[in-house]
Homo-oligomer: A and B are copies of this chain.
Amino acid sequence: MGVREGLLALLDDGPRYGYQLKTTFEGATGGVWPLNVGQVYTTLERLQRDGLVTVLDLDDQKSYELTAAGREALGAWWQTVPVDDPPPRDELMLKVLLAIEHGPDHALTVVTRHRTALVSLLQQRRRADGAAPDSLAARLVADALVVRAEADLRWLDLCESRLTTDVGRKP
């Protein structure tokens, strides 16, 4: 549910054609999220099917346009605050939780390995973040990656402390 809404949002600025949507999407996201053109067209097809978008068939190019329903759906998206319930499965969490099933020793191994890797990744990202201010979008994405990595790191620390103190009692 990402590309779909993305295209809707871009079409809110007026009719666009497929390839244009690809490039502006990539531009808006600071070039961090490449978008295969093919997916743009298939997604547009689905949006048509769902009545959120119509096509203006011009000479040789096709122009896509929001319908009233599409504008409504977009409005709903802007209003909605995404709260995932159940939360999306995350690979790091999953790995640690499953490692616990194999015993706290294995879990601690996994935790420390990931922490050292995350520390270097974080340094790397901080450098990238501090350096070239490409665009506002790229900057914000870089910020997000740093903040996320910090959060993961903090969580790993929490895991370690809980694993070392709570050893023995697993209700």
Contact = CB atoms under 8 A, between A and B. Distances in A.
A28 B97 contact: yes
Chain multiplicity (copies): 2
Interface string A20-58: 000010001110111000000000000000000000000
Contacts of A87: 32-33, 141, 145
Contacts of A95: 5, 77-78, 82
B113 A81 contact: yes
A143 B155 contact: yes
A12 interface: yes
A76 interface: no
Instruction: Label chain A's interface by main secondary structure.
Output: helix
B86 A121 contact: no
A83 interface: yes
A100 B137 contact: yes
A140 interface: yes
Contacts of A170: 135-136
A30 B151 contact: no
A96 interface: yes
B102 A13 contact: yes
A126 interface: no
